Chain A
Amino acid sequence: MQRAARRPGVGLALVLAILLAACTQGPARSGAPTGAPSGAAEQPRAGGQLVFIVSAEPPSFDGHKETTFAMLHPTAPHYSLLLRFDPNDLTKVIPDVAATMPEASADKLSYTVKLRDNVKFHDGTVMTSEDVVATYNKIIFPPSGVSSPRKGAYAAVESLSAPDKSSVIFKLKYPSASFLTNLASPWNFIYSAAKLKGDIKYYEKSIMGTGPFEFASYEKGSAWTGRKFKDYFLQGRPYLDGFRAVFIADANAQKNAIQGQQAMIEFRGFTPQQRDDLSRALPNNLAIQEAPWICVNYVSFNTTQKPFDDPRVRRALTLGIDRWAGSEALQKITIVKDVGGLLRPKGPFAMADADLQKIAGFSKDTKASQDKARALLKEAGQENLTFEFLNRNVTTPYEPVAVFLINEWKKIGVTATHKVKETSAYLADLRNKNYQVGLDFNCDFLDEPDLQLAKFYSASKLGAGLNLSHYDDPKLDSMIDAQGRETDAAKRKQIVGDIERYAMDEMAYQWPVLWWYRIIPYNNKLRGWKIGSNHYTNQDLVSVWLAN
């Protein structure tokens, strides 16, 4: 008995010794991880299973219905798209099951898409134009009881038809600048017309596509696996034998899984701190890719409530923010970085820095901006403005961004109280106008004004449910419509610039704080994957391979 009693002490000493070793081990290890993947120069190798992390489970499996990456990451490898983004240049659209890029009529009101003739579904049936038409009919003209959150992006489409088995014709009501790129939407999985005819909701619970991987299994709450589809239409692809998506919600557990080399990558991203921890822990086994992200936090105002119905107050609050200093500080601790307008900085529609700095709140002359902010508040009779600032209970990046804003506002005499709510309640408050000022957000798969400006439409019209500042502005509506119909790129960019100046400066309805920055540390055995400016595209794993 005495011997038994001695054991806990010995055990405790052992645990303490191990803990001490653990505490001293981490910082002692150092070394710079490799930067970009070296896949381009190497010969891709076939075989192996990619294990990656997804931080949530898919609600349903239907890409046409869902809006979360948690559905996209495990299911995208099972499907093809009509067009897709080039895995080597994620700004360029290329054919996927289309044989060539669509041919547009002279008036740009008709697009003919020729299809590949060697595309098979995983059940062995050949894909034809009938399947593409059924797919797009479900997305653009969903029958009653079928949800299609992105149908608005195809508002220009009047009809689609299949003149023969290998062609599809889209007819438009008016020319649409974003139509072609929207055909490469990562959500538009090509479905089987036969399956949809049998049950329009078949794809909510089943997987059957033409993509590089067949569905193998789904262990609820744990993992999703796919295996190579032998009849995939691209010869020699995919390189992988299969993939396994493991569901890990906790950010630290995700980092530990990468560190323990049980998973190779998480495609959404890590914080700078987690990147640095992994760099120290895996000096020889880690690659890191980083890119600006098409995600941004907006400050939204309940414009139906005083004093936020006054543009002077909204302008003062944007003038009070030193975004450039905020970027310097916040990029060290969270996933925000670039200062930009309504379109992603460094993206194809981004405003030049010189023009941006002329907009209220974007000048580098902080003192002048803050003086102007105080003057505006005084003019509006709101020198001691106090309000509640609504935020969601998600740390990254919402909490540090909100703390930064509140601190900046203090400098112009404004007192904001941070009111943090659980996501569902926060969303309900924003939609139901039950807030004063709030931190809103937006993420898209593409740098496309039609997408990023959708939430600026009048709340009682096309912006219903999207425009959480709840204003109506016919002038802004017509400007957004005009840019969407302008097919000349330079003219379109000019209109977009006018919209930015009007919406962010003159009216200051809702304005961006800082754009997000995507950081992906991953096991350097993974090759052939290139980071993009969003976490939705390039997820079919068709070009991905594993080094020895």
Chain B
Amino acid sequence: MQRYVVGRLLLMLPTLLGVAVLTFVIMRMVPGDIVELRYASGGAGVSQELIDQERALLGLDKPMYAQFVDWMGGIVRLDFGQSLWTGRSVLDEIAVRLELSIELAVLATLLAIALAVPLGVLAAIKQDTWVDYAIRIFSIGGLAMPSFWIGILIVLVLLTVFYWSPPLTFTPFLEDPLANLSQLIWPALAVGYRYAAVAMRMTRSSVLEVMREDYIRTARAKGAGERLVVVRHALRNSLLPVVTVISLEFAFLVGGLVVTEQVFNLNGIGKLLVDAVAHRDYTLIQALVLLLAFVFVFVNFLVDMLYVVLDPRIRYT
């Protein structure tokens, strides 16, 4: 098991290196650069001399391989460089936004689990009754409506009915839990609904499948109560695909809430990534993509480890 874990961890390195190379090359193949944007996008005319000078200051006049070597050399020393746009450390730029993104991802995940697991199980055990249909309609609604659209509706309802809108800036939870939640609960609801819908349908189908297994019949034959059968035997055995879906969604939420963050004006990783791409801020884009790739790879690894806990039959050697 130990050898497997070490092997899996080491395998992350070539994956991340591949991501780094791809991101580096692709961004430089896209026309335009940060200097054009910085000096010309506001409408002020600037001379070619200034553009060339600024490119040289940022090291963008060097050959691509030299820029790559500089960047990789920095990463080895855990120096991810400075944002080309703000001149500040890339890690500082990310750290400020990461707290919000992770908290939102956690909130949405908790909300999704709280809705998806009980409703998914309920739909399965009440299969083809009005309860099942109602839950399926509810979940299809979540799949059909994009999160940002639900977000826009939430904002409009709050504004036009309650004459209130969520705070404009982020307050850390430990500083003021109420202010924190009054900002984040709405996007968590918008995102969590869609997320819950995916997990709910997965839970339902997985529980339905397990409920037809021999060991469920055996448990019932032995006189076990329905609650015990569902919770101890059916639910636990149907959790593997549900955990996979929930974990991958969580990894996505850390950096993928681009539009929802715009709707609620959240200063998160998704918005930072969009700004970085719009500004052609190469160092920031490269660091962010690496971070998001790491989150995906690491969450996948954790899910694999969790399988062992959930299903004693699984053993890694």
A interface list, Cβ under 8 A from B = 1-2, 4-5, 8-9, 12, 15, 18-19, 21-22, 25-26, 57, 59-60, 66-69, 145, 147-150, 152, 204-205, 219-223, 246-250, 252-253, 256-257, 259-260, 262-263, 281, 295, 421-429, 431, 441-444, 454-455, 464-466
Contact = CB atoms under 8 A, between A and B. Distances in A.
19 contacts: A59-B38, A66-B38, A145-B53, A149-B47, A220-B92, A246-B168, A246-B169, A259-B165, A260-B159, A260-B163, A424-B30, A424-B31, A424-B32, A424-B279, A425-B31, A428-B33, A442-B43, A443-B44, A455-B45
Contact of B157 (A8, A19, A260, A424): A19
B155 interface: yes
Contacts of B88: 205, 220
Contacts of A66: 38
Contacts of A8: 119, 134-135, 138
Given A253-B265, A262-B168, A221 B96 contact: yes
A428 B122 contact: no
Contacts of A248: 168, 265
Given A221-B271, A465-B50, A67 B38 contact: yes
A448 to B, nearest CB: 13
B144 to A, nearest CB: 14
A426 B168 contact: no
Nearest to A257: B168
Interface string B27-65: 000111110111111111111111101100100000000
- Which 8 pairs across A and B sit closest by C-beta, in order of nearness? A424-B32, A443-B43, A260-B165, A465-B48, A221-B267, A466-B45, A428-B32, A67-B44
Given A25-B160, A431-B36, A5 B135 contact: yes
B45 A60 contact: no
Contacts of B38: 59, 66-68
A425 B42 CA distance: 15
Contacts of A145: 53, 57
Nearest to B153: A19
Interface string B64-105: 000000000000000000000111100011001100000000
A26 B159 CA distance: 10
B137 to A, nearest CB: 9
A18 B278 contact: no
B131 A464 contact: no
A18 B280 CA distance: 42
Contacts of A25: 160-161
Interface string B152-189: 11011101110111011110000000000000000000
Contact of B30 (A4, A68, A220, A425): A425
B161 A18 contact: yes
Please classify the interface of chain B as helix (H, G, I), strand (E, B), loop, or mixed, using the class held by over half of its residues.
helix
Q: Tell which of A5, A220, A431, A466 has the most Cβ of chain B within 10 Å.
A: A5
A77 B92 CA distance: 26
A330 B41 CA distance: 23
Contacts of A423: 32, 37, 41, 278
Nearest to A26: B160
A257 B265 CA distance: 10
B265 A12 contact: no
A197 B40 CA distance: 29
B56 to A, nearest CB: 9
A222 B267 contact: yes
Contacts, number: 185
B18 interface: no
B263 interface: yes
Given A22-B157, A465-B48, 18 more contacts: A5-B122, A5-B134, A21-B160, A22-B160, A59-B85, A67-B46, A68-B42, A69-B42, A147-B57, A149-B44, A149-B46, A149-B50, A221-B97, A248-B168, A249-B271, A444-B44, A465-B49, A465-B51
B165 A257 contact: yes
Contacts of B157: 15, 18-19, 22
Nearest to A25: B160
Contacts of B155: 253, 256
Given A26-B160, A147-B54, A263-B168, A465 B45 contact: yes
Contacts of A19: 153, 157
Given A5-B131, A25-B161, A427-B36, A250 B31 contact: no
Given A60-B86, A249-B262, A253-B265, A260 B46 contact: no
Interface in B241-287: 262-265, 267, 271-272, 275, 278-280
A253 B264 CA distance: 7
Given A59-B85, A424-B33, A466 B46 contact: yes
B44 A9 contact: no
Nearest to B37: A424
Nearest to A51: B168
Given A68-B41, A257-B265, A260-B163, A147 B33 contact: no
B32 A22 contact: no
Contacts of B46: 67, 149, 465-466
Contacts of B49: 464-465
Interface in B209-248: none
Contacts of B138: 8, 12
B265 A67 contact: no
Residue of B50, B167, B271 contacting most chain A CB atoms (<10 Å): B50
Interface in B112-162: 118-119, 122, 126, 131, 134-135, 138, 152-153, 155-157, 159-161
A263 B45 CA distance: 32
A253 B88 CA distance: 27
B18 to A, nearest CB: 26
Nearest to A430: B40
Contacts of B263: 250, 252-253
Contacts of B51: 431, 465
Contacts of B48: 431, 464-465
Contacts of B86: 57, 59-60
Contacts of A442: 43-45
A455 B46 CA distance: 9
Given A431-B36, A443-B43, A21 B161 contact: yes
A259 B164 CA distance: 9
A337 to B, nearest CB: 17
Given A204-B87, A257-B168, A67 B42 contact: yes
B36 to A, nearest CB: 4
A449 B264 CA distance: 42
Nearest to B169: A222
A426 B32 contact: yes
A221 B272 CA distance: 8
Nearest to B131: A5
A152 B87 contact: no
A427 B169 contact: no
Contacts of A59: 38, 85-87
Q: Which of B38, B43, B54 has the most CB of A within 10 A?
A: B43
Q: Which of A68, A421, A442 gathers most chain B CB within 10 Å?
A: A68
Contacts of B264: 253
B177 to A, nearest CB: 18
